[in-house]
């Protein structure tokens, strides 16, 4: 049997993305309450996300959105990790309001944001162990959230994923 690395790359990357998703899911969370949504996209979904990111970049005058929109077209997959629009009822004041009941609905729970960050760290550590090319992108997560991916999330971060001879997500224009 002869297996060409190039012809099986996408399948192997998607298997690795599954491991990254597991790492994100099993990452520690505040109060042990799992409020995360985790999805992976590839192919035409990456193109649609790129188009949305360009649109938002033009609308808001964010040139880095336009750069990132082009950059993710080099990804084999994108992992999206978000926190659902819920509160932890800790009244911690991390969001800037005295209590969860006084926090406006459009203000994200800071604890949920921290949970996303911890999950992203776990996913990226797994990717590093598997020697994948990655980059965490706020811009792509923001655009995904505008597309309701994952559904009903107030905070989303994206991890672009590739396996190439040089990481395409660094040394960008």
Q: What is the pLDDT of residues 137-164, one digit of tens each?
A: 999 999 999 999 999 999 999 999 999 9
Q: Which residues are within 8 A (CB) of 140 and not within 5 positions of it... i.e. 6 or more apart?
A: 49, 53, 68, 72, 78, 158, 160
Which CATH number does the domain housing residue 111 bear?
3.40.109.10
Q: What is residue 160's three-state secondary structure? A: strand
Q: Is 168 part of any domain?
A: no
Query: Can you give the residue range of the structural domain that contains 58?
Result: 5-162
What integer pLDDT is reported at residue 24 of this predicted model?
Answer: 98
Task: Tell me whether residue 71 is in a domain.
Answer: yes
pLDDT under 50 in the chain at which residues?
A: none
Residue 169 inside a domain? The answer is no
- Report helix, strand or coil for 27: coil
Is 171 a domain residue?
A: no
* Structural domain includes residue 60: yes
**Domain count along the chain:** 1
Give the pLDDT score at 57. 98
**Cis peptide preceding 150, ω within 30 of 0:** yes
- pTM score: 0.94
In-domain check, residue 170:
no
In a domain, 111, yes or no: yes
Residues in contact with 87: Cβ distance below 8 Å, sequence separation at least 6, in sequence order: 100, 103, 109
pLDDT at residue 78, rounded to an integer: 98
């Amino acid at each position: 049997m002869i297996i060409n690395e190039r012809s099986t790359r996408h399948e192997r990357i998607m298997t690795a993305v599954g491991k990254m998703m597991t790492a994100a899911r099993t990452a520690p969370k505040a109060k042990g309450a799992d409020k995360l949504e985790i999805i992976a996209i590839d192919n035409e979904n990456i193109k649609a996300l790129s188009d949305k990111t360009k649109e938002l970049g033009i609308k808001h005058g964010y040139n880095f959105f336009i750069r990132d929109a082009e950059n993710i077209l080099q990804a084999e997959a994108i992992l999206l990790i978000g926190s659902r629009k819920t509160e932890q009822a800790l009244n911690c004041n991390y969001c800037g309001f005295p209590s969860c009941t006084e926090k406006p609905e459009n203000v994200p729970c800071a604890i949920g944001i921290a949970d996303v960050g911890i999950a992203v760290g776990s996913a990226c550590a797994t990717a590093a162990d598997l020697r994948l090319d990655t980059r965490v992108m706020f811009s792509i997560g923001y655009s995904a959230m505008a597309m309701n991916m994952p559904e009903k999330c107030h905070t989303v971060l994206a991890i672009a994923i590739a396996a190439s001879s040089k990481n395409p997500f660094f040394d960008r224009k």
